Amino acid sequence: MLTGIRPLFAYLFESDGPMHQSLLSVRDFSVVYDVDPPVEAVKNVTLELQRGEILGLAGESGCGKTTLAYGIQRLLRAPAVITGGSVTFHDASGVDVDINSLDAESLRRFRWDKISMVFQGAMNALNPVMTIGAQLDDVFQVHRSDLSRRERRAACEELLELVAVGRDRIRSYPHELSGGMRQRVMIAMALALRPQLMVMDEPTTALDVLVQREILRQISQLRHEFGFSVIFITHDLPMLLEISDRIAVMRHGEIVELASARELWEHPQHEYTKTLLASFPRLTGTKGVLVR
């Protein structure tokens, strides 16, 4: 039995034949909030996520970023309704998974194992009356029931070390950790089952600039080491320009531009993208007016 996180990740991408270069294919995906009147939150979104890349998802609050992220994992609750489109996960084993067609039990096994998520406001999502170790251990008890107690403990300690929290924090309670450390624990939890895709919804919100920098550096290092893909959601376009391979810009539920980070910075095509870029202050230059 493999017990270490790195050995577990090591065989993640082993397969009998060549793997699909794409990890996730989203086609004409739409979500409507069934209220009066109905709200089209996501409109015919099509995108392709490549294996091992960081795809940034940018846009102002309310543009549909989080709804899209929840929708592709079928995490939406009423009154949100998926009204069209398909989401296909190209597993490392060579099997294509139609996420929309999974039944409840298959979906439960699929989530966190293949796709994990760091939720918005995640550093406040830990149970305040359980130790960090107990909360990490719970993930393995539910999804890796074949592991012994000793193996689960070793995996939890290695996860904490992996995200620079330290093994000695396994007995700590959330209130004993700083905001940045709690955020790292949530990232460790998302990594626990060695997913091929991690969706991160505003993972650095409410953290100071220096801690944000540390978290972003760590995400990049882990991605390079283990090869998983990331969908990184934020309204902070300059941050995405720094860490992303490609960036999708959303507005009113639609992706209005999708390009590499360099292309988006040097040659933005859509007027909204240009407006977003112009809205962030520069160290030099004249003041501009944000046009809505």
Digit-coded pLDDT (tens) for 43-61: 999 999 999 999 999 999 9
Percent helix, strand and coil across the chain, each to the nearest 5: 40, 25, 35
What are the angstrom distances between the C-alpha of 62 and each of 168, 248, 251, 282? 40, 15, 9, 25
Q: How much of the chain, in percent, has pLDDT values that exceed 90?
A: 70
Residues 203 and 222 sit within 8 Å (Cβ to Cβ):
no
| Residue 191, pLDDT above cutoff 50 | yes
| Residue 12, pLDDT above cutoff 80 | no
Please state whether beta strands 80-90 and 229-234 pair in parallel, antiparallel, or not at all (unpaired): unpaired
- Say what the pLDDT of residue 280 is: 75
Q: Please tell me the pTM assigned to this model.
A: 0.87
- Say what the pLDDT of residue 291 is: 58
Beta strands in the chain (DSSP E): 22-33, 39-50, 54-58, 80-90, 96-98, 115-118, 197-201, 229-234, 246-251, 254-260
If you average pLDDT over residues 21-30, what whole number do you get? 96
Q: Omega before 38 cis (within 30°)?
A: no
Higher confidence at residue 16 or residue 247?
247
Band (pLDDT 50/70/90 cuts) for residue 110 is: very high
- Say what the pLDDT of residue 205 is: 76
Band (pLDDT 50/70/90 cuts) for residue 29 is: very high
Q: How much of the chain, in percent, has pLDDT values that exceed 70?
A: 89
Band (pLDDT 50/70/90 cuts) for residue 283 is: low
Residues 248 and 216 sit within 8 Å (Cβ to Cβ):
no
Residue 99 is classified by DSSP as G
| Residue 244, pLDDT above cutoff 80 | yes
| Residue 279, pLDDT above cutoff 90 | no
Lowest mean pLDDT among 111-125, 148-162, 169-183, 262-276: 111-125
Q: Residue 96: CB partners within 8 Å, gap ≥ 6?
A: 20, 88, 89, 90
Tokens of 97: 């998974």
- Say what the pLDDT of residue 285 is: 62
- Say what the pLDDT of residue 16 is: 42
Digit-coded pLDDT (tens) for 196-236: 999 999 888 777 888 888 888 889 989 988 899 999 999 88
Return the ∠ at Cα 56 (arms to 202 and 197), rounded to 5°: 85
- Say what the pLDDT of residue 8 is: 42
- Residue (of 137, 92, 135) closest to 115 by Cα position: 92
| Residue 138, pLDDT above cutoff 70 | yes
Report the run of H or E that residue 68 belongs to, with start and end: helix 65-72
SS in 3 state form for 255-292? EEEEEEHHHHHHCCCCHHHHHHHHCCCCCCCCCCCCCC
* Domains of the chain: residue spans and CATH: 5-116+195-278 (3.40.50.300)
- Say what the pLDDT of residue 173 is: 96
If you average pLDDT over residues 122-141, what whole number do you get? 90
Digit-coded pLDDT (tens) for 80-107: 999 999 999 999 999 999 999 999 999 9
**Mean pLDDT score across all residues of the chain:** 88
| Residue 122, pLDDT above cutoff 90 | no
Tokens of 235: 């309204």
| Residue 63, pLDDT above cutoff 50 | yes
